[in-house]
Structure 1
């Protein structure tokens, strides 16, 4: 297979997005299997490169179709002067983040790039630009016109998904239904098979309440919602188990017996995940017709412009996007009907 063309959005231009992208692509070994296309305001990318004394070489292009071979390319989404204010969420940085994302997604839809890696955004200032979604996951789900998707955190063999995404904690129980959990388990099972080449995945499902409800003493969601969802998918052949208490499953190391874990809400899953991944994890959106990954960190305004950000998570996000893209091709070939009717 030839090089995979990777579209990369810069995220908030006052954060660490451009820094980690340029740092990751400084290593020419990254270009052995990929052709990266960075989407962002040209002068801002150049400013970051000079301010942080980075040595990444890139070639400017006007259209993603021009990107070929083992080089890094920059498709400028704005050639005007844009003020950089490291560490602050501004209207300018939110506007440029949205412009980068829209252009890259359009090129992905038009097959000008193969996969998408998104830099971190500030959810408040990008929404001021008309981005009416809690985050990338919800935006890309809507854009792809699919009913549901799964926020799936990946670090080596540790895979953690969440049943509810970016929700205030007091809204989780309102959104958490048997139907939601069934949908997320099915998306996780499908992704493990198609995107990670695991033929018979084992999924651990967490409870919502402390000690997974303690047989109803600490809450009834486990017996009324979560367990019936597990029973339903189990009857359909999915290997789902639980509900488990989060502290016990992760604290004992029992999560290693499973191919993935489904948490009920954001912090329940991401707190142990990030504690284990140590900054090297990747956020993958499962269930979409396109491949999208991102680093598992945010804009990190507190260190923006200080040349302290690690590119490890961004680099892992690129590699995972390529792996998923390759695995999907292989899965499609393996599951294709060999008995194609002959034309008469």
Structure 2
């Protein structure tokens, strides 16, 4: 839980930015994004990582900006420098870009835990997370299917949902990291209602959309053809949609997924609810890959991340595109600024 309000000695919002897996492209896109962004006078970047990792990539990529190293957020007093929150408990082993290893997975878990702890103490107004490797994170003892679930658990978020955002094209997810063969059994009314409602509240409260319009996708081809191609729409999804509408939520569907995401510029939905991971990821990444933002609804503060993974195949080669990290930081700052007390 967040234990304190904004620290009023800071005239600007503080954005906690984790380095992610140090052998992936996370550190590179963070360095490049901060080199590109005009952050001075807008926000305070607090990079949560390790000095050895940071220095390695800064040297490799040539970032020229004043950096202030601290071991606690309480030491931060300046607003015109990049603050490096050094996690001294991390032992950097096998710093080899492109090579996944358990040590890097453990470090990514520590970086994320540290950012969460800072946020819960009121020492940051938003979190931006660089990509992690799920398998090495798991091997290091962090048993979460992804950072979304990690954050929700550590921040005591009883209801949360993953979203992908590319401008006004927003996709929310009912399920995320599950095998496809399990999806139908997971789609129970309680779960669908929970995810729709948390996304709806987020759009109203944090994105300031007065009456969010929601479209929900069907599971089966042609929305089940009245039950001929599957009963989930008739027995589960449509009754749940009807109950949500009775609660005052402006939701329509279920719509056949093959046409729902076509010509979105001509539609007036504020968010599209996908029932499973690839159903929503494919259209939004085709629409705006490299510039979309992963967002977690339901947390006490904004959390964003780029729309890509560790990309080990190009790590350390100065080939990673920082565009999505730039967008992730920009969205985090925008949302953090909404309620930030100005002096």
TM-score calculated relative to the size of structure 2: 0.92
Supply the distance in 2 between the matched residues of 1:328 and 1:130 (Cα, whole angstroms). 36
Please list, as runs of the form range in 1=range in 2, the aligned pairs for 1:291-306 lying within 5 A after superposition: 291-306=302-317
Q: Which residue of 2 aligns with 1:155?
A: 166
Q: Which residue of 2 aligns with 1:334?
A: none
Q: Which residue of 2 aligns with 1:282?
A: 293
1:139 has 2:161 as partner: no
Supply the distance in 2 between the matched residues of 1:28 and 1:303 (Cα, whole angstroms). 23
1:154/1:253 CA distance change after superposition, 3 Å:
closer
Supply the distance in 1 between the matched residues of 2:91 and 2:243 (Cα, whole angstroms). 55
* Residue segments in structure 2 that go unaligned for 5+ positions in a row: 1-9
Supply the distance in 1 between the matched residues of 2:223 and 2:205 (Cα, whole angstroms). 30
More deviation in 231-240 or 312-321?
Answer: 312-321
Supply the distance in 2 between the matched residues of 1:185 and 1:151 (Cα, whole angstroms). 11
1:71 has 2:94 as partner: no
What are the Cα deviations for residues 203-245 of structure 1, in whole angstroms up to 9, with x where unaligned? Answer: 0010011121122121110111111111001011110000011
Q: Which residue of 1 aligns with 2:192?
A: 181
Supply the distance in 2 between the matched residues of 1:124 and 1:81 (Cα, whole angstroms). 18
Supply the distance in 2 between the matched residues of 1:302 and 1:190 (Cα, whole angstroms). 39
Supply the distance in 2 between the matched residues of 1:187 and 1:82 (Cα, whole angstroms). 40
Question: Structure 1: which 4+ aligned runs deviate by more than 6 Å?
Answer: none
Which of 122, 132, 135 matches 1:121?
A: 132
Q: Which residue of 2 aligns with 1:17?
A: 26
Q: Which residue of 2 aligns with 1:90?
A: 101
1:29 is displaced (CA, Å) by 1.2
Q: Which residue of 1 aligns with 2:7?
A: none
More deviation in 143-152 or 187-196?
Answer: 143-152
Supply the distance in 1 between the matched residues of 2:327 and 2:317 (Cα, whole angstroms). 22
Please list, as runs of the form range in 1=range in 2, the aligned pairs for 1:19-34 lying within 5 A after superposition: 19-27=28-36, 29-34=38-43
Question: Could you tell me whether the CA contact under 8 Å between 2:92 and 2:104 is conserved in 1?
Answer: no
- The DSSP-based 3-state class of the residue aligned with 2:226 is coil
- The DSSP-based 3-state class of the residue aligned with 1:30 is coil
Supply the distance in 2 between the matched residues of 1:254 and 1:227 (Cα, whole angstroms). 25
Tell me the number of residue pairs that the alignment of Structure 1 and Structure 2 aligns.
Answer: 330
1:80 is displaced (CA, Å) by 5.2
TM-score calculated relative to the size of structure 1: 0.91
Which of 233, 236, 260 matches 1:225?
A: 236
- The DSSP-based 3-state class of the residue aligned with 1:197 is coil
* Residue segments in structure 1 that go unaligned for 5+ positions in a row: 331-344
Q: Which residue of 2 aligns with 1:214?
A: 225
1:199/1:19 CA distance change after superposition, 3 Å:
same
